[in-house]
């Protein structure tokens, strides 16, 4: 495994680039949707070819995925729990009415940054940080916010910035 990422330095850099990244977001919204998807997907592939998420796990350490009903049922089953029991143990409703974790880091994150619920993890965990999905224009603001959590997203924006 690669060396652990220096998340303190990452956070400092991410905070210092936030205003700049918001300016990039304005430019991104002017790119045609399909071209924008192409830019993101190429940068995503480039960044994740070099990124080992096991050296980071900052998403699991600092934020919660949204748990949809299907996620809750799958995870409760994996942990041999009833759905209400699983919700009582780990989740609460946020201000938007979505189930999220009671705490961060995620209780399913192991000390070596692996996920003990990997096979049954929520869809939101599987899809994070969403830089390889279609219709990226719809989540430009979210993507800028994710630069504060995910070193890969910060790198993706740096690559795209050079191309627009
Ligand atoms: S998705 Fe981003 S924040 Fe999560 S482990 Fe990978 S690089 Fe880190
Ligand atoms: S369920 Fe697994 S992948 Fe999702 S936040 Fe928790 S540790 Fe990370």
Q: What is the pLDDT of residues 103-146, one digit of tens each?
A: 999 999 999 999 999 999 999 999 999 999 999 999 999 999 99
Burial class (CB in 10 A: 0-12, 13-18, 19+), 80: exposed
- Name the residue of 14, 48, 53 whose CB sits within 8 Å of the most ligand 1 atoms, as the mutation to test its pocket: 53
Q: Do 72 and 113 belong together in one domain?
A: yes
Q: Whose CA is nearest to atom 3 of ligand 1?
A: 150
Q: Indicate the pLDDT class of residue 41, thresholds 50, 70 and 90.
A: very high
Q: Whose CA is nearest to atom 2 of ligand 2?
A: 115
pTM: 0.96
Q: How many domains does the chain have?
A: 2
- Give the per-residue pLDDT at 52: 97
Q: Do 121 and 142 belong together in one domain?
A: no
Which ligand has its closest atom nearest to the C-alpha of 2? 1
Domain that holds residue 141: 7-54+129-161
**The two structure tokens encoding residue 69:** 């009903």
Q: Whose CA is nearest to atom 4 of ligand 2?
A: 125
Paired with 116 in beta bridges are none
pLDDT cut 70: percent of the chain above it: 99
Paired with 114 in beta bridges are none
Q: Do 71 and 86 belong together in one domain?
A: yes
Q: Do 123 and 71 belong together in one domain?
A: yes
Q: What is the pLDDT of residues 50-100, one digit of tens each?
A: 999 999 999 999 999 999 999 999 999 999 999 999 999 999 999 999 999
Q: Do 71 and 103 belong together in one domain?
A: yes
**Ligand 1 neighbour 58 (Cβ under 6 A):** yes
Residue bearing tokens 């002017």: 30
In a domain, 60, yes or no: no
- Give the per-residue pLDDT at 2: 73
Q: How far apart are the first and last CA of the chain?
A: 34
- Give the per-residue pLDDT at 75: 98
């Amino acid at each position: 495994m690669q060396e652990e990422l220096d998340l303190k330095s990452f956070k400092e850099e991410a905070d210092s680039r936030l205003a700049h990244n918001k300016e990039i977001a304005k430019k991104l919204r002017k790119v045609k949707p399909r071209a924008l998807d192409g830019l993101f997907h190429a940068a995503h592939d480039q960044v994740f070819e070099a990124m080992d998420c096991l050296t980071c796990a900052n998403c699991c350490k600092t934020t919660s995925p949204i748990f949809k009903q299907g996620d809750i049922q799958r995870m409760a089953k994996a942990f041999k729990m009833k759905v209400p029991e699983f919700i009582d143990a780990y989740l609460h409703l946020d201000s938007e009415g979505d189930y999220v974790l009671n705490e961060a880091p995620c209780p399913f994150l192991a000390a070596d940054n692996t996920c003990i619920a990997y096979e049954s993890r929520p869809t939101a965990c599987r899809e994070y940080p969403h830089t390889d999905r279609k219709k990226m224009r719809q989540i430009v603001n979210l993507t800028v916010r994710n630069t504060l959590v995910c070193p890969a997203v910060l790198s993706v924006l740096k690559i795209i910035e050079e191309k627009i």
